[in-house]
Amino acid sequence: MACRHDTEVFLPEVEKVAEGEVLVDSASQAASNTFLPVYERVEGFYLLNEGNMGSNKSTLDYYDFSAGQYIRNIYGNANPHVPKELGDVGNDLAIYGGRLYAVINCSNKIEVMNSQTAERIGQVDIPNCRYIRFSGRYAYVTSYTGPVVISDEYKQRGYVARIDTATLQVVDTCVVGFQPDGLEIADGKIYVANSGGYRLGNYEHTLSVVDLQSFRELRRIPVSPNLHHVRLDNHGQLWVSSRGDYFAVPAKLYCIAVSTEEVTDSVDVAVSDFWLDGDSLYFYGTAWSYVSMDDEITYGIINVKTHQIVSRGFITDGTVIKKPYGIAVNPLTKDIYLTDAKNYVNPGTLYCFDPAGKKKWSVRTGDIPAHIAFRGIPKKNNRYH
Amino acid sequence: MAFTVICAGSLAATAQTVVDSTAIKLDDVVVWGSTNRKEIVPAQRLIGAELEALSSSSVGDAIRYFSGVQLKDYGGVGGLKTVDVRSMGTNHMGVFYDGIQLGNAQNGQVDLSKFSLDNVESISLYNGQKSDILQSAKDYAAAGVIYIRTRRPQFAEGKNYNVRASLKAGSFGVINPSFLWEQKWSARLNSSFNTEYLTATGKYKFRYRRVLSDGSTAWDTTAIRQNGDMEAFRLEGGLFGRLNDGVWNAKVYYYTSNKGIPGAIVNNVWKTSQRQWDHNFFAQGQMKKSWGRYELMLNGKFAWDYLHYLSPDTTSLYINNVFRQTEAYISVANHYSLCDQWDVAVTADYQFNALNADLANFVYPKRHTFLWAAASTFEWGRFKAMGNVIGTHAFDVTDVHRAQCVGKLTPALFLSFQPVSAITLRAYYKQSFRQPTFNDLYYTDIGNISLEPEFATQYNVGATYQKRFGQSWHFEGKVDAYFNKVDNKIVAIPKGSGQYRWMMMNIGKVKILGVDVSAGTEWNLLKDWTLNLTLNYTYQRARDYTDPTDNDPASGTWGGQIAYIPWHSGSVVGNLRYKRWMLNYSFIYVGERYHNSANIRQNHEEPWYTHDVKVGWNIQSLSLSLEINNLLNQQYDVVLNYPMPGRNWKCIVKYGF
């Protein structure tokens, strides 16, 4: 039996997981004509743990390549005076212009931090915010909380918010479909994946096209039910994942040409999330099987030029991941990072695999490890910086 | 609460509130217990004046004083309170209201915050089961049982009515009037009518604070709990009759509430807007009669429950759902005394449940449950034994599924031996299970129709020491050690991809090793002075054996203490009475615990403990009391991010004639 003590702000927990390495791309030519970020040097990456809803346990971890150290839970130490820490359910993470942006869904805010120190700069209040992308001086964030449609069946449209990164103010909003999730910016337009995720059995199935200049919705591209992620490759193609309707229509990956704004192809894999690196699209999928009463997990790599699956299963050493939940590929070493969210309430695990699919290391994370953002020095001419 | 029936009799003598004074006569207990034999497994009880002296407004508050019990409490006036006994999970407990089980086929949980103590005469907790041979099959079926018994009319000599009005008011904007009228119509028929109204703003200050490693404040924030407002109304009426060699009673109960659901306090969210409306109605009756060595008991009940949940928050998923449940229940229990030492009983129950909801793709489940129990007790000198076997046969019918049949036999054996008059030794073994609830099976999208029942196995050994020293001092001490196993535990696991989709699965496994200790004493110190003291202590090691692959000794869940179960917990209650005055002090301690079976620093929860004090004064017709709860204003959570109230007060006026 013991007395109650004051609870201390968490000090980060440091674990040495690998030999330190310096990740520098010695090739001198500037990255041109590429939409994906290309780095001169990669220092590390941040990992955002979502934390289960209501737990307020979204936390930020950092991996430092030069020290080979994984540092768990850095936000509280960097910002010891922020009440109730980072917040509830982190949903997206990105670095832009020397700042780290964490979209914290159930805390209804975007946390803006210094990308070197994770010290808080400010926050942008956007209710039920989902995903973030950048263009010029603005950040664009999807949100589920647009205008309510008065009808028998309660309906609420979503929107994209335009945030001035200098003032951290929402300067404009553009109404799109129901429950918009991922978004991508290409060729002066924002492509927004509408999910309709709150409308079981009546999902959205379109990609909204929003003009960046006028910030108004131009048209909808019909794709498939319950769209989730949308990302642009280096060949002017958008890769869009559909969750399917969980009944008749299976989850699938679609390819849309930006030039024609039409679906040009689809790949018959259930994609939960994917990561683009050069011409490779690394994906994993978890699909519930009512036969085995378990998740059926698939991993693979798609060549975005040929649209062919070039690898089925990039884990080659038999490592079993219970609930893959986040993926990233090291832009220089091509190591693959996969997170395991397990049962959503227990602490997760981050795995690092070498390009041959052998496990290099693994480390305990926070709850529901999900979103990874690399920190480094990008090459000039890269659209991302 | 450690006192047995015998001790309760002596307590009654000190209880002076006029209407309540006769409530706990020993003979009354005997009339309603079917045998006057001592129990093989003793109950933990709170009776009459003892219950009234505690600072508790609901059954949920009072139950915290029992050993082996953990209350999951979301805080505030209307916050959900569910009880977990010996870490087997709330769905394994049967909660009985005036002899018949309170059901909730939808989620299997009985919210004990809904049951006011205003008209409650006793609360008893039995581990395993009540060792009364004449009882329904449902009494036998649960892993443990809580009996809530409302006041039964008792009339002073020459009086044929009792009227009592009371008003409670205090913190959180609580105003809580109640009225009781009891009438004696004849020597064979009494009636009782009781009603209560409660309104509260539910507002209270709470504070969260973190420090730096040097002890200085990192952040410190105080806010007001919002959306905890509540309005509730209760109406209860009962008839109590006597037969030749028998008794009967019938009652109707209606409860309605309209309340806000305060929600978790997380970064940037200090207020929520979810609401809930409830209507609960039931009518039930019980008849007990004996013919020589044969005794018969009939129970019947009809219940109707309505729940409307609204989440109008424009920042999250809009939810507006209505659930309606219907339950019908009948039980026939037969007891025959073969000889003075040997009794046998056979019991048969039937229950019907239906759930109606306006969810998309809902399947409208209906469940038929047949239960039977065969039991026998044997007494040979200082040795007593009770054995029983329970058969459960249940099948569900839904709009789309064929009948799901469950048939199970579960045995139990209880033994006690009294080597010397002051000491009783006991041991029991019991198997029980809980059915998957309608939500587990059929809730749109997350339900899993192939779920199996969840099993609990209990092994218990214990001893009681009880002695009276002269006229003025009585002592009772109890200790029990137990090992419980929960298999096929129904837990939610994530399913597929996408937006937090879950599936209920039979994958959990928990092993519990525990010790419950309680001691109670009563001193008649000087003339007019009486002191009661009770202590309870519980040790529990409840370990999660669900996932053998998650076995990192530093951070894995394998072998970790399960969520929210402290290793150490306990309570102390002291009660001092002098003539018209009463002073009660109670202390509750819940030790360190984790909110997840990964017992790592991030999941650690500090211990919490509260001191409550109550002062009472009464004359023949009037009683006044004042209570101050959480005297030291401790700021704590029972459930992560659900702040509990700090110091709060209540005053109570009761007038009866």
Enter the tokens of residue B85: 């006994």
Name every chain A residue with its beta carbon within 8 A of the beta carbon of B210.
Answer: 6-9, 76, 80
B416 has a pLDDT exceeding 90: yes
Percent of chain B at pLDDT > 90 equals 75
Cα angle A356-A357-A361, degrees, rounded to a multiple of 5: 115
Q: What is the sign of the dihedral through the CA atoms of B85, B86, B89 and B93?
A: negative
How many beta-carbon contacts under 8 Å exist across A and B? 180
| Model pLDDT for residues A163-180, shown as the tens digit of each residue | 999 999 999 999 999 999
Number of domains in chain B: 1
A263 has a pLDDT exceeding 70: yes
Instruction: Indicate yes or no: CB of B598 within 8 angstroms of CB of A366.
Output: no
* Element spanning A281, H or E: strand A280-289
Task: Give residue for tokens 């008003």.
Answer: B167
- What is the layout of strands, in order, in the sheet containing A237-242? A227-232, A237-242, A252-257, A262-267
Cα-based distances in Å from B526 to B49, B467, B470, B519, B577: 20, 20, 14, 22, 11
DSSP readout, A216-273?
Answer: -EEEEEE--SSEEEEEE-TTSEEEEEE---SSSSPPEEEEEETTTTEEEEEE-S--SE
What's the confidence (pLDDT) of residue A30? 56
Q: Look at strands B93-97 and B144-150 and give their pairing.
A: parallel
Q: How far apart are CA B147 and CA B581, in angstroms?
A: 30
Instruction: Indicate yes or no: CB of B497 within 8 angstroms of CB of A272.
Output: yes
Instruction: Indicate yes or no: CB of A80 within 8 angstroms of CB of B636.
Output: no
**Residue B9 backbone class (left: φ over 0; alpha: ψ -120 to 50; beta: rest):** alpha
Closest CA to B300 of B237, B365, B252: B252
B277 has a pLDDT exceeding 50: yes
Instruction: Indicate yes or no: CB of A148 within 8 angstroms of CB of B218.
Output: no
B22 has a pLDDT exceeding 60: no
Residue B14 lies in a domain: no
Calculate mean pLDDT across residues A5-30: 87
What's the confidence (pLDDT) of residue A227? 96
What's the confidence (pLDDT) of residue A242? 95
Give the chain B residue whose CA is nearest to the CA of A124.
B268
Judged by a CB distance cut-off of 8 A, whether residue A130 touches chain B is no
Instruction: Indicate yes or no: CB of A148 within 8 angstroms of CB of B314.
Output: yes
Residue B7 lies in a domain: no
Amino acid at B647: R
What b/e sequence results for A170-186 when a residue is b if at least 16 CB atoms lie within 10 Å of its CB, and e otherwise? beebbebbbbbbbbbbb
What is the pTM for the complete model shown?
A: 0.92
> B54 to chain A, minimum CA–CA distance in Å?
24
Residue B112 DSSP code: G
- Give chain A's end-to-end CA distance (angstroms, integer): 55
Task: Give residue for tokens 């109650």.
Answer: A4
Least confident of A77-91, B484-498, B556-570: B484-498
Give the A window 163-192 contacts with B, CB below 8 Å: none
Phi, psi dihedrals of residue A276, rounded to the nearest 5°:
-100, 130
What's the confidence (pLDDT) of residue B38? 61
Neighbours of B250 (CB within 10 A): 16
Is residue B23 within 8 Å of B104, Cβ to Cβ? no
Residues in chain A: 385
**Residue B138 backbone class (left: φ over 0; alpha: ψ -120 to 50; beta: rest):** alpha
Name every chain A residue with its beta carbon within 8 A of the beta carbon of B608.
Answer: 4
Residue B15 lies in a domain: no
Residue A93 DSSP code: E
3-state secondary structure of A214: coil
Closest CA to A246 of A221, A226, A217, A228: A226
Least confident of A125-134, B432-441, B598-607, B640-649: B432-441
* Element spanning B48, H or E: helix B48-53
Least confident of A33-47, B162-176, B279-293, B426-440: A33-47
Residue B559 lies in a domain: yes
Nearest CB neighbour to A243, from listed B444, B494, B498 = B498
What's the confidence (pLDDT) of residue A27? 73
Judged by a CB distance cut-off of 8 A, whether residue A22 touches chain B is no
Q: If pLDDT is split at 50, 70 and 90, which confidence band does A150 have?
A: low
Is A74 or A379 the better-scoring residue by pLDDT? A74
Q: If pLDDT is split at 50, 70 and 90, which confidence band does A151 have?
A: low
Judged by a CB distance cut-off of 8 A, whether residue A37 touches chain B is no
Q: How far apart are CA B169 and CA B624, in angstroms?
A: 12
Is residue A153 within 8 Å of A170, Cβ to Cβ? no
What's the confidence (pLDDT) of residue A155? 80
**Which of the residue ranges A23-32, B112-121, B164-173 has the most confident prediction, judged by mean pLDDT?**
B164-173
> B479 to chain A, minimum CA–CA distance in Å?
19
Give the chain B residue whose CA is nearest to the CA of A4.
B607
Amino acid at A278: G
Q: How far apart are CA A324 and CA A312, in angstroms?
A: 15
Residue B13 lies in a domain: no
Is residue B76 within 8 Å of B38, Cβ to Cβ? no
What ipTM is given for this predicted complex? 0.93
Nearest CB neighbour to A288, from listed B444, B495, B547 = B495
Name every chain A residue with its beta carbon within 8 A of the beta carbon of B445.
Answer: 200, 246
Give the chain B residue whose CA is nearest to the CA of A200.
B360
| Model pLDDT for residues B93-147, shown as the tens digit of each residue | 999 999 999 988 888 889 999 999 999 999 999 999 998 999 999 999 999 999 9
Residue B12 DSSP code: H
The chain-wide mean pLDDT, for chain A, equals: 92
Task: Give residue for tokens 């004359």.
Answer: B619
Q: How far apart are CA A127 and CA A132, in angstroms?
A: 14
Least confident of A29-38, A101-110, B449-458, B461-470: A29-38
Task: Give residue for tokens 């704590």.
Answer: B636
B56 DSSP β-pair partners: none
Closest CA to B230 of B272, B196, B276, B199: B199
Is residue A219 within 8 Å of A191, Cβ to Cβ? no
Instruction: Indicate yes or no: CB of B267 within 8 angstroms of CB of A87.
Output: yes
Name every chain B residue with its beta carbon within 8 A of the beta carbon of A80.
Answer: 210, 212, 218-219
A47 has a pLDDT exceeding 60: yes
Closest CA to B235 of B204, B195, B199: B195
Mutate to test the interface with A, among B210, B503, B515, B640 (most CBs of A within 10 A): B210
Q: How far apart are CA B437 and CA B435, in angstroms?
A: 6
B5 has a pLDDT exceeding 60: no
Give the chain B residue whose CA is nearest to the CA of A324.
B497
Closest CA to B350 of B410, B391, B403: B391
B24 has a pLDDT exceeding 50: no
What's the confidence (pLDDT) of residue B14? 31
3-state secondary structure of B475: strand
Name every chain B residue with its beta carbon within 8 A of the beta carbon of A319.
Answer: none
Mutate to test the interface with B, among A3, A5, A8, A241 (most CBs of B within 10 A): A8
Name every chain A residue with its beta carbon within 8 A of the beta carbon of B220.
Answer: 83
Cα angle B466-B467-B472, degrees, rounded to a multiple of 5: 135
What's the confidence (pLDDT) of residue B443? 81
Is residue A45 within 8 Å of A328, Cβ to Cβ? yes
| Model pLDDT for residues B362-412, shown as the tens digit of each residue | 899 999 999 999 999 999 999 999 999 999 999 999 888 766 678 899 999
- Provide CB contacts within 8 A for B646, sequence distance 6+: B204, B205, B206, B207, B630, B633, B634, B635
What's the confidence (pLDDT) of residue B2? 31
Q: Which domain holds residue B652?
A: 22-656
Nearest CB neighbour to A154, from listed B212, B318, B493 = B318
Instruction: Indicate yes or no: CB of B496 within 8 angstroms of CB of A246.
Output: yes
Instruction: Indicate yes or no: CB of B568 within 8 angstroms of CB of A125.
Output: no
Q: How far apart are CA A92 and CA A132, in angstroms?
A: 7
What's the confidence (pLDDT) of residue B496? 58
Instruction: Indicate yes or no: CB of A88 within 8 angstroms of CB of B264.
Output: yes
What's the confidence (pLDDT) of residue A56? 96
Mutate to test the interface with B, among A5, A56, A199 (most CBs of B within 10 A): A56
CA B534 to centroid of chain Cα atoms: 19
Q: If pLDDT is split at 50, 70 and 90, which confidence band does A2 have?
A: confident
The chain-wide mean pLDDT, for chain B, equals: 89
Judged by a CB distance cut-off of 8 A, whether residue A286 touches chain B is yes
Mutate to test the interface with B, among A283, A325, A343 (most CBs of B within 10 A): A343
Residue B16 lies in a domain: no
What's the confidence (pLDDT) of residue A152? 61
- Provide CB contacts within 8 A for B25, sequence distance 6+: B9, B12, B154
B608 has a pLDDT exceeding 50: yes
What's the confidence (pLDDT) of residue B30? 31
Q: How far apart are CA A325 and CA B649, in angstroms?
A: 48
Q: How far apart are CA B462 and CA B458, in angstroms?
A: 13
Calculate mean pLDDT across residues B154-181: 96
Residue B155 lies in a domain: yes
Judged by a CB distance cut-off of 8 A, whether residue A377 touches chain B is no
Closest CA to B166 of B625, B552, B629, B644: B625
Residue B93 lies in a domain: yes
| Model pLDDT for residues A208-224, shown as the tens digit of each residue | 999 999 999 999 999 99
Closest CA to A228 of A243, A217, A239: A243
Percent of chain B at pLDDT > 70 equals 92
What's the confidence (pLDDT) of residue A31? 55
Phi, psi dihedrals of residue B14, rounded to the nearest 5°:
-95, -10
Judged by a CB distance cut-off of 8 A, whether residue A14 touches chain B is no
Instruction: Indicate yes or no: CB of A345 within 8 angstroms of CB of B592.
Output: no
Neighbours of A222 (CB within 10 A): 9
Question: In this structure, what CATH number is given to the domain that contains residue B194?
Answer: 2.40.170.20
Mutate to test the interface with B, among A88, A245, A293, A345 (most CBs of B within 10 A): A345
A382 has a pLDDT exceeding 80: no
A198 has a pLDDT exceeding 90: no
What's the confidence (pLDDT) of residue B12? 32
Give the A window 54-93 contacts with B, CB below 8 Å: 54-57, 59, 73, 76, 80-88
Q: How far apart are CA B230 and CA B172, in angstroms?
A: 10
Torsion of Cα atoms, A232 then A237 then A239 then A240, to 10° = 100
Q: If pLDDT is split at 50, 70 and 90, which confidence band does B504 have?
A: confident
Is residue B440 within 8 Å of B433, Cβ to Cβ? no
Name every chain A residue with its beta carbon within 8 A of the beta carbon of B598.
Answer: 346-347
Give the chain B residue whose CA is nearest to the CA of A325.
B497
What's the confidence (pLDDT) of residue B17? 31
Residues in chain B: 657
A383 has a pLDDT exceeding 60: no
Q: If pLDDT is split at 50, 70 and 90, which confidence band does A33 have?
A: low
Q: How far apart are CA B264 and CA B75, in angstroms?
A: 11
Name every chain B residue with its beta carbon within 8 A of the beta carbon of A78.
Answer: none
Q: How far apart are CA B470 and CA B616, in angstroms?
A: 29
A134 DSSP β-pair partners: A139
Q: How far apart are CA B630 and CA B569, in angstroms?
A: 17
Instruction: Indicate yes or no: CB of B268 within 8 angstroms of CB of A125.
Output: yes
What's the confidence (pLDDT) of residue B156? 92
Phi, psi dihedrals of residue A318, rounded to the nearest 5°:
80, 5
Q: How far apart are CA B35 and CA B38, in angstroms?
A: 8
Enter the tokens of residue A297: 């997990």
Instruction: Indicate yes or no: CB of A246 within 8 angstroms of CB of B317.
Output: no
Is residue A287 within 8 Å of B495, Cβ to Cβ? no
Closest CA to B141 of B464, B514, B394: B394
Q: If pLDDT is split at 50, 70 and 90, which confidence band does B11 have?
A: very low
B94 DSSP β-pair partners: B145
